[in-house]
């Protein structure tokens, strides 16, 4: 690598570390549980350990250079910022939630930005050069290369474990949804096809993590996000299909029961015209009910169901009135009159 390239890489690495954050994975199934998931926390801690060690090495290189050009006069503020930065890095290792670590990363970013601003001001103040600053930073990082490589390896291992565990958790959730729908007799073939694509893309993601290919990881995550949206849309449609089948079957069953009840009362000579009129109104609600279910219109469905419930209550009250006037005749058990014992005479 050419000398100018080394300087450029050193400067860019410092900027990336100053502004960088841990790569974001796909959204987990349950954010609350994932907030304290041990594997997820371990991956975040490993990233902070690596970024923190690299940041400290870069800061040490900058402080060394500025100390040289200022005869030690311009390093106090930088050393103070570095101390705060390393303290935050250390504290992360005892944190147990993602929210806590994210807050610490925000503080680290603030410290890194503050350090960079102060370092640039010191370079100008003491007539230094950014080229020499970059050389000092590179030298400091190279001196810690073995330690940094070990920390980076740990981060990649933990990152892959966490991401694929997240994938498996989401995959289990998706398959559970499909199983529930199939148990209700719903055709989930389209959603199942997308789930198969997701599983295939999961293999691609795992390979990308193994090869540490950030570009491939990003592409796999983006494809997974697209497929997951397709899956959700299809499952929502399947859920409405299953909901429609169940609801209409229940409606038809209850309507048949009501009609049978009126038939029994009619056979007993009861005039059921009033109840029959209400039942006719209930029957008329079936089409609006089906239309709301077909349209996946939860608001209209709620309104129709409320109307059906009101009519059901009216029907029940009317039938109760019929029964009060024409109570059902109960079968009676014949009363047996005891007979006197006959004593035979000899």
Q: What is the pLDDT of residues 18-45, one digit of tens each?
A: 334 344 444 444 445 778 899 999 999 9
Nearest-angstrom CA–CA distance, 194 and 232 = 10
Nearest-angstrom CA–CA distance, 114 and 82 = 10
Structure tokens at 215: 């570009």
Is the whole-model pTM more than 0.85? no
pLDDT of 324 reads: 84
Nearest-angstrom CA–CA distance, 157 and 49 = 13
Is residue 108 within 8 Å of residue 86, measured between CB atoms? no
Positions of the chain with pLDDT under 70: 1-32, 328-346
Average pLDDT, the chain: 87
pLDDT of 113 reads: 96
Looking at residue 343, the DSSP 8-state letter turns out to be P
pLDDT of 327 reads: 72
pLDDT of 323 reads: 87
Is residue 98 within 8 Å of residue 38, measured between CB atoms? no
pLDDT of 33 reads: 74
Is residue 63 within 8 Å of residue 78, measured between CB atoms? yes
pLDDT of 343 reads: 34
Residue ranges per structural domain of the chain: 3-157, 251-325
């Amino acid at each position: 690598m050419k000398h100018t390239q080394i300087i450029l890489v050193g400067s860019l690495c410092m900027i990336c570390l100053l502004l960088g954050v841990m790569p974001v994975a796909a959204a987990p199934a349950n954010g609350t549980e994932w907030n304290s998931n041990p594997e997820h926390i371990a991956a975040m801690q490993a990233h902070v350990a690596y970024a923190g060690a690299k940041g400290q090495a870069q800061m040490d290189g900058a402080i060394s250079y500025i100390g040289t050009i200022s005869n030690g006069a311009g390093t106090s503020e930088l050393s103070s910022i570095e101390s705060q930065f390393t303290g935050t890095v250390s504290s992360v290792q005892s944190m147990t939630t993602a929210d806590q670590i994210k807050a610490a990363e925000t503080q680290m970013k603030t410290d890194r930005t503050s350090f960079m601003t102060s370092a640039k001001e010191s370079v100008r103040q003491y007539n230094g050069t950014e080229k020499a600053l970059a050389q000092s930073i590179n030298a400091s990082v190279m001196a810690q290369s073995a330690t940094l490589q070990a920390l980076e390896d740990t981060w990649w291992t933990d990152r892959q474990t966490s991401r694929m565990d997240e994938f498996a958790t989401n995959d289990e959730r998706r398959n559970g949804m499909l199983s529930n729908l199939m148990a209700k007799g719903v055709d989930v073939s389209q959603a199942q096809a997308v789930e198969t694509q997701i599983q295939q893309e999961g293999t691609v993601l795992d390979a990308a993590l193994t090869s540490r290919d950030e570009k491939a990881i990003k592409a796999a995550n983006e494809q997974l996000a697209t497929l997951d949206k397709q899956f959700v849309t299809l499952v929502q449609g399947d859920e409405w299909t299953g909901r429609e089948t169940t609801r209409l079957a229940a409606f038809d069953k209850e309507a048949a029961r009501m009609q049978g009840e009126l038939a029994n009362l009619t056979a007993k000579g009861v005039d059921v015209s009033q109840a029959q009129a209400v039942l006719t109104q209930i029957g008329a609600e079936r089409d609006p009910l089906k239309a709301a279910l077909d349209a996946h219109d939860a608001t209209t469905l709620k309104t129709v169901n409320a109307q059906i419930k009101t009519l059901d209550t009216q029907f029940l009250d009317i039938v109760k009135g019929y029964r009060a006037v024409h109570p059902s005749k109960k079968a009676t058990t014949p009363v047996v009159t005891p007979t006197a014992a006959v004593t035979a005479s000899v």
